[in-house]
Amino acid sequence: MSCTLCRSPLQHGSLCPTCTIDTLEYIGRLPGLWAELEDWLIPGIRGGAQYGGRVRMAEAPLPLDEEALTLRAAGGIAGVLEDWHDAICDARALAAPARTGALAHRVRAASRGLAEQIHFIALWEQGGQLGREVRQLVARVRRVVEPGYEEDEPKQPTFLGYCVAVDASGVVCGAKLFADMGQAVQCEWCLCSYPPDRWLALRQFQPGNEAAAAGEQSAAAA
């Protein structure tokens, strides 16, 4: 069994501890991001004070940002959070809250409701999909309110696999390896080095792949 987001090994559930914490953080950020989008609904205004202050164009105003409008609408951030909260209530035989009040209140209430269910989400079979959707919502808002943020964001390292180095007692290291593509990787635990030309062999000897690797070697020898 593995985490449905990062694919790291799991004994049970859908989300590993790291992805669970990340999902909780994304859920908690969405009410604030929803509020930030208000500035982007005014034609000719781009961004709040934290992004250089409001600037009204001297020429014709810019058109209203349709993505901001979509995200701020009832079917945007509010709808996604409420749909997931309703789904959890249904799965747990709980009464789903009514969708009443101003949208700002609904976003806060749904976010709070999901945060309170984070332990269930981590175990739920739909937890990975929920995590992906709230992560995508945060990314969509940031593309509106922080133009170019993706170019400035540090690239996430690629999960390469688990260290297969064996110590003198025959114990496999097993530490996670992350790659900056094209550069040698060194295990932070045992310091074993894996240059790019060894990555394919490393993947063949990952847990669960040993039998396949042995079969390939036998076929090659024949």
130-139 per-position pLDDT tens digit: 999 999 999 9
pLDDT at residue 108, rounded to an integer = 97
Cα of first residue to Cα of last residue in the chain, in angstroms, is: 34
User: CA triplet 125, 130, 134: central angle to 5 degrees?
Assistant: 165
Predicted TM-score (pTM) of this structure: 0.62
pLDDT at residue 49, rounded to an integer = 40
Q: Do 69 and 54 meet the contact criterion of CB atoms below 8 Å apart?
A: no
pLDDT at residue 184, rounded to an integer = 79
pLDDT at residue 213, rounded to an integer = 45
Taking the chain (222 residues) in runs of 10, the rounded mean pLDDT of each run is 82 90 95 91 53 41 72 94 97 94 96 96 95 94 80 63 85 81 77 84 76 46 44
* Tokens at 149, concatenated: 């943020």
pLDDT at residue 52, rounded to an integer = 42
pLDDT at residue 88, rounded to an integer = 97
Q: Do 46 and 154 meet the contact criterion of CB atoms below 8 Å apart?
A: no
Domains of the chain by residue range? 17-152, 158-221
pLDDT digit string, tens, across residues 153-189: 555 667 788 888 888 888 888 888 887 656 778 887 8
Helices 17-36 and 77-91 meet at what angle, rounded to 10? 140
Residue with tokens 């959890």: 88
pLDDT at residue 209, rounded to an integer = 67
* Tokens at 213, concatenated: 């690797």
